[in-house]
Amino acid sequence: MRPLLIAALSVVVIGALGWFAFGRSTDSTPASSPPVQAQAAKPAAAEAPAREAAGTISGETKPEAASAPAPATPSAGATGAPAAPQAPQTAPAPAAAPLAAALPVAAPPASDAASAAPGLKMDTEFASAKRIVPFAFNKVGVGPRGLLAVKELAPLAKQADKVYVRGRTDGLGGAEANRKVALDRAYTVFHAFLREGVQKNKLRLTYCSTCFAASNDTEEGRRLNRRVEVELLMPPDAIAKLPKPVHAPEAPPPLIAPLASSEILQNIPR
């Protein structure tokens, strides 16, 4: 009888110890769920640098609007257990302004228009000398006297800065015939200067059929009007050193003539 009693007490003691050991461990199992929630909160905190990097364009950070973190929802079996704290999000520091933008830019000094073109020459630096290449009545080619005048003027034209070649005629004949004669005489002297080695860019070709230097009532006056007038533009000291004319006499002052009758030829087709 005694051994049975001892065995019964042993079973009761072993059962109580088993319930105490295994029953409490089963009731405390839900308390381990908060670490799972803490692990789930870590990826949300790790996404913050990725969002900040997405707002960076050409080295300039554009911070997003800060949002309050959502509170962690406790599980059903974790009532009263503290939630895992989240890492605070800090707004990125604004990019520093470039140093070049903060420095004042000095305005360039005003330069004189004359100093910008040092090779520019003023009209007051030049003077002119006018000589004549004579022509025969109703002729557009140079005769013996005209050829000597061209030979005399060609070296002077090479020294000049500009050379104006102006065809002229007398008052006899019709207007269209006189216009053609004055123009052809200017072309004749123009090409004669080119053959003598005068640079083409120095020459300016004009003509006028009513620009007279003398009266057409006399033979002497008509002879003076049948000419090509050559004007040499050069510095005054060079004008003073010009030799005396021999075959190309100095041009007399012109009579008053209508300005509209004088035409400047911009293009030289011949």
Average pLDDT estimate for 112-121: 48
Task: For residue 186, give both structure tokens.
Answer: 């200017």
User: Is residue 119 situated within a structural domain?
Assistant: no
Distance CA 170, CA 134 (A): 12
Tens digits of residue pLDDT in 184-211: 999 999 999 999 999 999 999 999 988 8
225 neighbors 214 (Cβ within 8 angstroms): yes
HEC letters along 205-232: EEEECCCCCCCCCCHHHHHHHCEEEEEE
Q: Could you give the number of structural domains in the chain? A: 1
Of residues 222 and 117, more confidence is placed in 222
215 neighbors 105 (Cβ within 8 angstroms): no
User: Is residue 224 situated within a structural domain?
Assistant: yes
User: Is residue 115 situated within a structural domain?
Assistant: no
Q: What is the pLDDT of residue 147?
A: 95
3-class secondary-structure state, position 166: strand
User: Is residue 238 situated within a structural domain?
Assistant: yes
User: Is residue 79 situated within a structural domain?
Assistant: no
230 neighbors 164 (Cβ within 8 angstroms): yes
User: Is residue 4 situated within a structural domain?
Assistant: no
Task: For residue 3, give both structure tokens.
Answer: 């051994």
Q: What is the pLDDT of residue 62?
A: 45
Tens digits of residue pLDDT in 206-248: 999 888 999 999 999 999 999 999 999 999 999 999 999 999 9
Range of the domain at 173: 125-264
Instruction: Find the angle CA(148)-CA(151)-CA(157) to the nearest 5 degrees.
Output: 135
pTM of full prediction above 0.85: no
Q: What is the pLDDT of residue 5?
A: 72
User: Is residue 98 situated within a structural domain?
Assistant: no
Distance CA 230, CA 245 (A): 13
The secondary structure element, H or E, covering residue 156 is: helix 144-159
User: Is residue 91 situated within a structural domain?
Assistant: no
Question: What CATH number is associated with residue 233?
Answer: 3.30.1330.60
